[in-house]
């Protein structure tokens, strides 16, 4: 990690803060200001109440993520992956065969290797471990406590011994215990079930730092059973050397900065974990998860503690999303779906809420074939809204402009129902809900809205964004209790002489915010299974308004409290040699309903 820090410093991508900053809430507000500004840099907090410097927002741009992956750009990473697939082409000459053998031998040298000695990660050993030596963050005001946010959690399959490295948040319960928040869809949860069936404790190791490529690989949506350190070796063109832990039968990278060793007893009762301000931009609710027991902490002498915050986008996690988008696009194009040209996961879609895919269609409804294939591949099963188009998707705004101009949408929308992310709160049931596929493929016969059509629609409940009216798009900013089906405006909409009217319902407090915030909030609160309706074959209603007091609990968005904002405002000039940046929470705090992590129209009920 020290090498990466030096690189960031040399490239002008690092801000170092030597004045004391509290890891409880204060670091979050500083990072949130920086990551949402034009001065988006990595931050190194060297004075945080512990002996470990804290590095955060290190992966927060495409450029810094490229550096972490040992490249100058994500395009270079993409090309390197593409070149690996070219090796699958049959060699044409003896020379080609010879070159192929050499190349395959080189790739073989990138595979992980266990070495039988102590690693750099074991220079300092704590056999009476205390998690309080680490600068663990409390990120958001209503979090259930302090959370480890950038851990590389190592587990082994109980049956075949295959290693898995995943990233699961860890709430600190005591100086020797944490929660282990692995979702039901993740490999760590599968390993937990295997050990539970055998009645055995699970050995675990949680690493931090080392080569930054490790951190990315722990988040990569690899197929089940593929070792993350194979991908790491391919990306950095060098094998990952692993050493055995001191108190657990499991291996870790010898150059990791910090290692927490421990175990989970599957027979122990689960513990209540959360709430936690998550990457959806909303608090994830409390749930029952396993308890991780710490048996040792080891680290380098000059170890750095990496961390991240997640919340209302954009945040640091977008760098991880972008890297996966570019890397796994190549896997899709060169294996299962050669018709795919490009893929985009906009920041406001928080990875799983929106995916836009460009294809080269060869036959009618080709896009539908791709949609169903994508929903069946790995973590794409958690996607909620999927748009497939046959034009360039370099600009998300241009994609939406093209879609808006289509004369009809109803015949292009397909609904489905399936697994969704554990953090999804829009549906009636956890981990499942509706999915929407929009077929935006068009040809010479496609009808578009006439540019000369009026953009005045005569309705008394006047919408905003009147420029969209010419496309038949009506956006209403409404109260949480608003019911369009009983409101007089529905009859007025029925009288409009157009083929289609597209009605979007969004929270009243979004009015005046940037469209990316509106899109983020809308998609987070939209379940296609219950929030999309067609009335009289012409009125399409998309209800992305927040739903309070419904069957499921509705969380509030992640907002920094005013007390913390005031503290950072006062410290700003001494902390950073930068022009003052307002906390984004000041303009977003109006999106909260009540004073707690649960949204409520009754303040006395909001604390959850």
- Active-site residues, by number, are 278
Which structure tokens are listed for 270?
Answer: 């689960």
Q: Could you tell me which of 158, 256, 240 has the C-alpha nearest to residue 206?
A: 256
Give the Cα separation of 592 and 608 in Å (integer): 14
Encode 258-297: b = buried (16+ Cβ within 10 Å), e = exposed: bbbbbbbbbeeeebebbbbbbbbbbbbbebebbbbbbbbb
Are the C-beta atoms of 208 and 305 separated by less than 8 Å? yes
Per-residue CA distances from 579 to 37, 315, 361, 584 (Å): 11, 20, 49, 15
Q: Are 490 and 478 in contact (CB under 8 A)?
A: no
Helix (H) or strand (E) holding 177: strand 177-179
Cβ pair 461, 491 in contact under 8 A = no
Q: Which of 69, 72, 260 is nearest to 175 (CA)?
A: 260
Q: Distance between CA 256 and CA 414 in Å, rounded?
A: 46
Neighbours of 95 (CB within 10 A): 9
Give the dihedral sign, CA 69/72/74/76: negative
Instruction: Give the neighbor-by-neighbor strand order of the sheet with 42-45.
Output: 14-17, 42-45, 54-56, 305-307
Exposure string for 553-583, b = 16+ CB within 10 A, e = fewer: bbbbbbbbbeebbebbeebbeebbeeeebeb
Cα gap 401→470, rounded to integer Å = 12
Cβ-in-10-Å burial (0-12, 13-18, 19+) of 128 comes to: exposed
Using CB atoms within 10 A of its CB, is residue 343 exposed (0-12), middle (13-18) or buried (19+)? buried
For residues 385 and 356, what is the distance between their CA atoms, to the nearest angstrom? 9
| Cα–Cα distance measured from residue 598 to residue 478, given in angstroms and rounded to the nearest whole number | 19
Structure token pair of residue 419:
């697994």
Q: How far apart are CA 184 and CA 421, in angstroms?
A: 9
- Alpha-carbon span 595 to 606, nearest angstrom: 6
CB atoms within 10 A of CB 17: 20
Within 422-552, strands assigned E span 432-439, 473-478, 501-507, 532-535, 539-543
> Can you tell me which residue has the tokens 């083929």?
499
Give the E-state strand segments of 316-472 in sequence order: 340-344, 354-359, 385-389, 413-419, 432-439
Helix (H) or strand (E) segment spanning residue 29: helix 26-35
């Amino acid at each position: 990690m020290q090498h990466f820090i030096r690189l960031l410093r040399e490239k002008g991508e690092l801000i170092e803060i030597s004045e004391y900053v509290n890891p409880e809430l204060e670091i979050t507000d500083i990072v949130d200001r920086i990551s949402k500004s034009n001065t988006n840099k990595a931050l190194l907090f060297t004075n945080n109440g512990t002996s470990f410097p804290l590095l955060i927002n290190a992966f927060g741009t495409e450029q810094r993520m490229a550096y972490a992956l040992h490249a100058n750009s994500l395009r270079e990473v993409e090309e390197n992956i593409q070149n690996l697939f070219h090796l699958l082409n049959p060699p044409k000459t003896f020379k080609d065969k010879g070159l192929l053998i050499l190349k395959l031998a080189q790739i073989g040298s990138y595979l992980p290797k266990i070495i039988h000695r102590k690693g750099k990660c074991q220079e300092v050993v704590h056999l009476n471990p205390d998690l309080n030596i680490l600068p663990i963050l409390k990120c958001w005001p209503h979090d259930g406590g302090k959370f480890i946010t950038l851990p590389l959690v190592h587990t082994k399959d109980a049956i075949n011994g295959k290693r898995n490295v995943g990233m699961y948040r860890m709430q600190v319960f005591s100086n020797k215990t944490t929660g282990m928040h692995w979702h039901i869809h993740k490999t760590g949860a599968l390993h937990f079930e295997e050990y539970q069936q055998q009645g055995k404790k699970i050995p675990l190791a949680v690493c931090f730092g080392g080569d930054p490529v490790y951190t990315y690989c722990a988040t990569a949506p690899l197929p089940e059973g593929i070792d993350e350190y194979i991908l790491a070796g391919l990306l950095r063109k060098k094998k990952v050397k692993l050493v055995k832990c001191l108190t657990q039968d499991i291996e870790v990278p010898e150059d990791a900065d910090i290692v927490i060793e421990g175990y989970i007893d599957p027979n122990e009762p689960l513990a209540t974990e959360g709430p936690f301000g998550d990457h959806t931009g909303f608090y994830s609710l409390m749930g029952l998860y396993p308890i991780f027991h710490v048996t040792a902490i080891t680290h380098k002498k000059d170890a750095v503690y990496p961390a991240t915050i997640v919340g209302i986008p954009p945040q640091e996690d977008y760098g991880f999303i972008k890297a996966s988008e570019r890397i796994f696009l190549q896997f899709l194009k060169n294996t299962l779906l050669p018709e795919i040209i490009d893929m985009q996961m906009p920041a406001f879609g928080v990875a799983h809420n929106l995916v836009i895919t460009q294809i080269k269609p060869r036959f009618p409804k080709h896009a539908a074939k791709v949609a169903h294939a994508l929903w069946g591949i790995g973590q794409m099963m958690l996607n909620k809204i999927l748009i497939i188009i046959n034009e360039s998707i370099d600009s998300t705004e241009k994609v939406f402009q093209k879609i808006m101009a289509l004369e009809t949408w109803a015949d292009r929308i397909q609904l489905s129902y399936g697994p969704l992310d554990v953090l999804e709160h829009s549906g009636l049931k956890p981990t499942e809900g509706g999915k929407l596929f929009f077929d935006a493929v068009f040809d010479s016969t496609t009808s578009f809205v006439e540019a000369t059509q009026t953009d005045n629609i005569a309705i008394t409940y006047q919408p905003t964004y009147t420029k969209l009216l010419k496309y038949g798009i009506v956006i209403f900013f409404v109260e949480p209790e608003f019911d369009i089906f009983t409101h007089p405006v529905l009859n007025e909409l029925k009288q409009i002489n157009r083929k289609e009217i597209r009605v979007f319902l969004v929270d009243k407090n979004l009015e005046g915010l940037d469209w990316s915030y509106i899109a983020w909030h809308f998609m987070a609160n939209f379940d296609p299974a219950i929030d999309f309706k067609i009335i009289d074959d012409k009125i399409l209603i998309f209800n992305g308004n927040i739903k309070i007091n419904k069957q499921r609990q509705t969380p509030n968005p992640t907002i920094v409290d005013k007390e913390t904002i005031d503290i950072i405002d006062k410290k700003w000039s001494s902390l950073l040699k930068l022009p003052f940046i307002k906390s984004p929470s000041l303009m977003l705090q109006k999106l909260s309903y009540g004073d707690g992590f649960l949204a409520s129209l009754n303040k006395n009920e909001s604390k959850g």
